[in-house]
Every structure is written in structure tokens, then in C-alpha cells.
């Protein structure tokens, strides 16, 4: 079976070496030695100044919205994983959708200002498939209207834009280290802020608000990464060059061997050092997608409809038409992309797709 992704697993012997450290310390959570080491190593790897590791990739969004959202209106994208919108609603804020750019698939920055009201408190934009938003335009709009910018960078580990980590942009950036991501801790995530006071608030917010064992800074929840998660992260991190190199080879194969006369590939924003996190293709219509998906499934190949449906259509939000997002969501299919995907499998995937779209 060829799935859309396959979790990269380092040799289990290397993982058990890290686990043994946690056993020897008899310390499994509450920011032990392994979490602290992983924070330092990931910070160095990404060349960022601040990082807080978390137990998953959704908690950072919730904390960011709790601190910055003010139960107001959050301008956001309808084309993302459901967690982006769910976090807004969960934190008693109101998602206000803005349609997407049909090539980059990120929020269309030219439509943001028209959606701003006196209730708007923040912009929550997703770097979709690791492809950066129009950061300069969004930052200018936010500054003009005194809004916070939260970037859902769940897909963007290792991405650089204009020579800087993607996590250096925005008021707060978040990331996911879920098992499906190219860098992972099984479950996990991280949050980033350049402002030291805000970083301190993020820190105590993910640790029940603690200020030492007996005092409290303020309200918080449990967003801490465990030592077991950190052990896996420490084991995976040394393989990042291999992971990126192998994924790049798959992307290069698709770029050369797929017939793009009737399908559209993702356009990567200029000045981006991309991370090869997903490989979406966009068909001319949903019927073509469904037939191609059926033929791939019959060959034991299982791509995924990331991201479907368009989030403005889910039941717990107010519907407003987002024609580009709704159209793209109905026609986009992410192809298998992971370390260890064999050439014969790539040949088969390309053959099936090309036979359907040529």
C-alpha cells in the first residue's frame, strides 16, 4: 500500500538510547532534560531566537488566540486543515474568511482589508503546504489597522523566506510536529514569538500559568511536550538532511514526469527555500479528480484530498461564498511523498495520472 505519506522512523535502537535517559532520570514530563535539549537543538537548526515546544500543533494556535484574539473577529483562510478554523471557534472568536490566491493557495492579501471591521483583532493565515503567505503585504495591513498576525505554519518546518526562518515572521507563529509531518515527535508542536514579553506569556500559558511551583503568572493550560516525545524528536532531527534530500527527489520526479497540460502544480512564492512538505496537483474539475483517485486506489495507491472541504462550508461557521477556495478544494489532490518511495511506485503514479489527464 502506498499512502499519501509515511512516518519517518529512525532505527528504534537510537530511540531507545534517548528513552533510556528519561528512564534513568525518572522524569517523563514537566520540561525535563530531553525537552530542554530538543528546544536548544531545534532552535539552532532553525536559526530562531525563541521556541517553546508543545504537546501538539493545535495548542499553540489556541494559546495564541487566547492571548491575542480577544473573542473578536479573526480574518483567516478557508483553505487549510480544519484545526485552523476549529481553534478560532474553540477560543470563542469568530472566523471571517477571505478567499485564496489560486496559484499560491494562501490567503489573498488583496482581499483582507475589505474584511476588516471594528471587531477584528487578528489575522490568522496559513503557510499552506509550507508555501509562505505574502508576508510583507499582511504585515503592512496589520500595522495599518493595529492587528496581530498569527501564522499557522504547521506545514512549514525548515522553510526560509528571504533568508530568514518562516517562524521569524508574525506576532506569533506555530508549527506541528505530528507524525505525518516531515519533522515530527509523534505528536507535538512549537510556538514562536520575537517579542520577549509575549514569549513569556506563551511560556506560562502552556504550563498552567505557573510562576514556580506555588505561584502563578496567570491563566494557563497544559501544553507541555513530554520527555517521550522529545526523545523521538532528538532521534529524528539528525536525519533532516536525509529527509529533505529524499523528498526533494520525489518532488523533482513529479515535476519532470507528470503531464501538466491539464493539471496545475503549486506555485512556490519567490525568495522561498521550500521544504518539500506536500505535492498537490489541481485538476480541471472534480470529476477528473475522483476518477483519477479511483484508479490510483485500485492500484493500491492512496493520495489525499488536502484540503477538503473548504472551511467556510463546515457546519459550525457562518457560510460566506469563497469561490476560489471552494473550487480548489474540490479539485486538489496531494500525491504520495515520503522517504523511501520507490521509483517503480513513482512511475506507476505518474502513469495513471498522465493517462487520465492527457
Q: pLDDT by residue (tens digit) across 105-144?
A: 999 999 999 999 999 999 999 999 999 999 999 999 999 9
* Helices and strands, counts by H and E, the chain: 11, 17
d(CA 22, CA 37): 12
d(CA 52, CA 146): 26
DSSP code at position 226: P
Domain limits, the chain: 3-238, 240-357
310 burial class (0-12, 13-18, 19+ CB within 10 angstroms)?
Answer: buried
172-190 tens-digit pLDDT: 999 999 999 999 999 999 9
Mean pLDDT, range 303-322, rounded to an integer = 96
234-259 tens-digit pLDDT: 999 999 999 999 999 999 999 999 99
**Residue 212: its pLDDT value, please?**
81
Q: Which CATH number fits domain 240-357: 1.20.120.160, 3.90.1150.10, 3.40.50.720, 3.40.50.300?
A: 3.90.1150.10
Q: In angstroms, what CA-CA distances link 323 with 42, 84, 126?
A: 39, 19, 18
Average pLDDT, the chain: 97
Please state, for a pLDDT cut of 90, what percent of the chain lies above it: 96
Q: With 80 as the cut, is the pLDDT of residue 65 above it?
A: yes
- Residue pointed to by grid coordinates 501564522: 151
d(CA 53, CA 323): 37
Common-topology check for domains 3-238 and 240-357: no
Mean pLDDT, range 305-312, rounded to an integer = 97
d(CA 180, CA 194): 27
Give the predicted TM-score (pTM) of the model. Answer: 0.96
Q: With 70 as the cut, is the pLDDT of residue 23 above it?
A: yes
Question: Per CATH, which fold does 3-238 belong to?
Answer: 3.40.640
324 burial class (0-12, 13-18, 19+ CB within 10 angstroms)?
Answer: middle
d(CA 86, CA 232): 28
Mean pLDDT, range 168-172, rounded to an integer = 98
**Residue 25: its pLDDT value, please?**
97
Element of type H or E holding 288:
helix 286-298
**Residue 357: its pLDDT value, please?**
67
Mean pLDDT, range 47-64, rounded to an integer = 97
**Residue 358: its pLDDT value, please?**
59
Amino acid at each position: 500500500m502506498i499512502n499519501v505519506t509515511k512516518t519517518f522512523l529512525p532505527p528504534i535502537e537510537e530511540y531507545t538510547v534517548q528513552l533510556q535517559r528519561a528512564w534513568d532520570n525518572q522524569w517523563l514530563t514537566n520540561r525535563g532534560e530531553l525537552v530542554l535539549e530538543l528546544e536548544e537543538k531545534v532552535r539552532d537548526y532553525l536559526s530562531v531566537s525563541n521556541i517553546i515546544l508543545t504537546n501538539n500543533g493545535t495548542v499553540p494556535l489556541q494559546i495564541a488566540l487566547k492571548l491575542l484574539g480577544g473573542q473578536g473577529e479573526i480574518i483567516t483562510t478557508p483553505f487549510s486543515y480544519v484545526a485552523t478554523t476549529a481553534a478560532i471557534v474553540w477560543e470563542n472568536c469568530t472566523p471571517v474568511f477571505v478567499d485564496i490566491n489560486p496559484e499560491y493557495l494562501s490567503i489573498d492579501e488583496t482581499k483582507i482589508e475589505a474584511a476588516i471591521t471594528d471587531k477584528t483583532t487578528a489575522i490568522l493565515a496559513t503557510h499552506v503546504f509550507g508555501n509562505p503567505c505574502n508576508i510583507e503585504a499582511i504585515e503592512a495591513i496589520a500595522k495599518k489597522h493595529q492587528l496581530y498576525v498569527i501564522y499557522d505554519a504547521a506545514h512549514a518546518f525548515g522553510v526560509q523566506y528571504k533568508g530568514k526562518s518562516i517562524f521569524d515572521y508574525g506576532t506569533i507563529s506555530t508549527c506541528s510536529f505530528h507524525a505525518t509531518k516531515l519533522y515530527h515527535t509523534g505528536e507535538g508542536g512549537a510556538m514562536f514569538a520575537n517579542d520577549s514579553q509575549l514569549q513569556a506569556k506563551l511560556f506560562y500559558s502552556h504550563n498552567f500559568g505557573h510562576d514556580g511551583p506555588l505561584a502563578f503568572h496567570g491563566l494557563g493550560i497544559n501544553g507541555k511536550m513530554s520527555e517521550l516525545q522529545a526523545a523521538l524528536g532528538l532521534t529524528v532531527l539528525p536525519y533532516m538532511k536525509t529527509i529533505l534530500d529524499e523528498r526533494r527527489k520525489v518532488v523533482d520526479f513529479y515535476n519532470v514526469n507528470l503531464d501538466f497540460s491539464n493539471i496545475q502544480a503549486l506555485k512556490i512564492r519567490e525568495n522561498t527555500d521550500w521544504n518539500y512538505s506536500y505535492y498537490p496537483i489541481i485538476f480541471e474539475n472534480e470529476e477528473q479528480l475522483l476518477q483519477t483517485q479511483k484508479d490510483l486506489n485500485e492500484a493500491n495507491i492512496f493520495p489525499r484530498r488536502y484540503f477538503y472541504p473548504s472551511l467556510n462550508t463546515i457546519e459550525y461557521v457562518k457560510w460566506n461564498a469563497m469561490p476560489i477556495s471552494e473550487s480548489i478544494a474540490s479539485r486538489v489532490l496531494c500525491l504520495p511523498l515520503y522517504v523511501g518511495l520507490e521509483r517503480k511506485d513513482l512511475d506507476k503514479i505518474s502513469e495513471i495520472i498522465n493517462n487520465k489527464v492527457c
